């Protein structure tokens, strides 16, 4: 029980941070046509920001389910690598079903806190660490969706462009500091423009264009600017 309480305490700041971000997601999701219940269930089942924002953008243009699925998998693939890394920090006696639960709740912030612990993480601690972020992310989505549903239709439609403004606000500060990020963003913009306007490319659907832009831009940046191992030492 003490381990669970410590996990709750360590996860509380994460949950509060998720509350504000997911509030925005709830507003944008309902502005894109999802109901508050659908947006809330989407957050509860996924617990991922970038993947969910990409998913609702594809849903808004009625992309096929396969495209939504594949796009989400690619965007969230980092969680696979993070879960593999985190598995080395878990209690060796943890059961498989318990590891699956931990993998479901593994996010960037939860991963960072769990990795910083001096001892192997017990399942009780991980459950406590995951509880408040999951509640914060899901509750924030519900509150955001409910708030947006109370707005007049004209304001609801205005929030449909908030998604793009949010992405710009996220990437610009990082791009100013890290040139490789700025380069990757520029490559992505060029590729996205090509898929939108070039005649023999614009027949590709939105979902697959996002997938191709992600893979090509990442491959180019990784080839031109490989990360040295000692940069993290």
Q: What percent of the chain has pLDDT over 90?
A: 23
Report residue 161's pLDDT band, with 50, 70 and 90 as the boundaries.
low
The residues, any chain, with a CB within 8 Å of residue 165's CB and separated by 6 or more, are none
- Average pLDDT of the chain, as a whole number: 84
Question: Is it the case that residue 140 has pLDDT exceeding 70?
Answer: yes
The pLDDT of residue 232 is: 39
The pLDDT of residue 159 is: 63
Q: What is the pTM of this model?
A: 0.73
29/144 Cα distance (integer angstroms) = 9
* Pair 216, 191: CB distance under 8 Å: yes
Least reliable range by pLDDT among 49-58, 98-107, 187-196 = 49-58
First-to-last C-alpha distance (Å) of the chain: 35
Dump pLDDT digits (tens) for 163-220: 566 667 667 887 888 888 889 889 989 998 998 888 888 777 776 787 788 888 888 9
168/73 Cα distance (integer angstroms) = 22
Question: Is it the case that residue 128 has pLDDT exceeding 90?
Answer: yes
Q: Please give the average per-residue pLDDT across 87-109, as a whole number.
A: 89
Report residue 233's pLDDT band, with 50, 70 and 90 as the boundaries.
very low
C-alpha dist (Å) from residue 106 to 44, 58, 95, 118: 13, 24, 16, 18
SS3 66: helix
Burial class (CB in 10 A: 0-12, 13-18, 19+), 41: middle
Question: Is it the case that residue 156 has pLDDT exceeding 80?
Answer: no
SS3 43: helix
The pLDDT of residue 231 is: 44
Report residue 36's pLDDT band, with 50, 70 and 90 as the boundaries.
very high
């Amino acid at each position: 029980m003490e381990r669970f309480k410590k996990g709750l305490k360590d996860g509380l700041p994460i949950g509060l941070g998720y509350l504000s971000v997911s509030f925005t997601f709830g507003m944008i999701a309902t502005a894109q046509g999802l109901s508050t219940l659908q947006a809330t269930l989407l957050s509860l089942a996924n617990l991922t920001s970038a993947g969910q924002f990409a998913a609702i953008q594809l849903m808004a243009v009625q992309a096929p389910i396969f495209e939504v699925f594949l796009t989400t998998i690619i965007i969230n693939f980092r969680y696979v690598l993070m879960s593999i890394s985190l598995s080395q920090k878990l209690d060796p006696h943890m059961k498989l079903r318990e590891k699956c639960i931990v993998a479901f709740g593994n996010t960037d912030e939860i991963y960072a806190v769990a990795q910083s612990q001096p001892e192997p993480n017990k399942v009780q601690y991980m459950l406590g660490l995951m509880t408040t972020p999951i509640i914060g992310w899901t509750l924030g989505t519900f509150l955001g969706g409910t708030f947006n549903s109370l707005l007049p239709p004209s304001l609801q439609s205005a929030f449909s462009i908030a998604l793009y403004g949010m992405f710009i606000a996220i990437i610009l500060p990082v791009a100013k500091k890290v040139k490789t990020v700025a380069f990757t963003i520029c490559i992505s913009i060029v590729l996205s423009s090509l898929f939108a306007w070039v005649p023999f490319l614009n027949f590709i659907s939105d979902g697959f264009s996002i997938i191709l832009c992600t893979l090509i831009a990442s491959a180019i940046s990784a080839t031109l600017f490989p990360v040295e191992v000692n940069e993290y030492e």
